[in-house]
Amino acid sequence: MNETRYMNPYLAGVLLGLLLLVTIYITGRGLGASGAIKSFTVAGVEAVAPRHAQSAKFYREYAAEHPAGGPLKNWLVFEIVGVLIGAFLSGLVAGRLKLVTEKGPRIASRTRLIAAFIGGILWGIGSQLGRGCTSGAALSGMAVMATGGILTMLGIFAGAYAFAYFFRKLWI
């Protein structure tokens, strides 16, 4: 399969912006991702340790905030399933479907996978504190000019640039 080139970034940006705008106009909320991860985690805990999920405070607060139909009946869960489908179709069309571990030139695949896992843990904790990730807090927050979202966005970029030097071996 021949890989096709990526879309012009400005064109992609305009399309993404319009999609976000339509989403806000129709649903009154922005895009997101980490909320779905939270839903999966809560659903997992409810399945494995239902008694614990009923007693621990985090899950009780979650249940109070999301009254309807359990953690998986959530807008972001549906959206993320869509993301998986959309990205898969895009990759299929562009000839980019391939099982691979993407890594910097100076590290082994195993190092990359461990780093990705640790990075994921940081995202999990950070997105809970920040009440959203790059999509839900930074991008959607910027679209509606929410102070909280813009602060989180600044935090993400500042943090990434501040720590980039120390992890350069992973990438270059």
Partner 1 sequence: MGPLVPDLISQNLNYILALFIGIAFGAILEQAGFSSSRRLVGLFYGYDFTVLRVFFTAGIVAMVGVMALEHFGLLDMNLVYINPTFLWSAIIGGVIMGLGFVVGGYCPGTSFCAAAIGKLDALALIGGALVGVLIFAEGYPLFEGLYKAAYLGSPRISQTLGVSPNLFAFAMVLFALVAFGVASLVERKVNGKSVQPLRWTPSRVGLVAAGIVLALSAFSFTDRKAELLQLAQDERLVRSYPVEAMSVDEFAFRLMDEEDDRIQVIDFRPEAEAAQERLPKSYAFTVDNLFEQEPSRLLRLKGKINLFVANDELTERRMAVIAHELGFRRIQILEGGLNAFREQILRFQPSRPPQGMMEEFTYRFRSKAKRVIPELIRQNKSSAPVKKEKKRVLGGC
Chain positions 144 to 163 lying near partner 1, rule: CB under 8 A, are 144-163
| 50 contacts partner 1 (rule: CB under 8 A) | no
Distance in angstroms (rounded) separating the CA atoms of residues 11 and 37? 29
Residue 146 gets the label, from left (phi > 0), alpha (psi -120 to 50) or beta, of: beta
| Contact of 82 with 145, CB cutoff 8 Å | no
**C-alpha closest to that of 5 among 108, 135, 93:** 93
- Rule CB under 8 A: say whether 118 interacts with partner 1: yes
Q: How many residues bind partner 1 (CB under 8 A)?
A: 128
Smallest distance from the beta carbon of 5 to partner 1, in angstroms? 9
Choosing from 47, 50, 73, 169, the residue that interacts with partner 1 (CB under 8 A) is 73
Q: Verify binding: residue 19, partner 1, rule CB under 8 A.
A: yes
| Residues of span 78-117 touching partner 1 by CB under 8 A | 78-91, 94, 96-104, 112-117
Is 54 an interacting residue with respect to partner 1 (CB under 8 A)? no
Q: How far is the CB of 72 from partner 1 (least distance, A)?
A: 11
Q: Give me Rg for the CA atoms of the chain.
A: 18
Whichever of 2 and 161 has its CB closer to partner 1, that residue is 161
Chain centroid, CA 81 distance in Å: 12
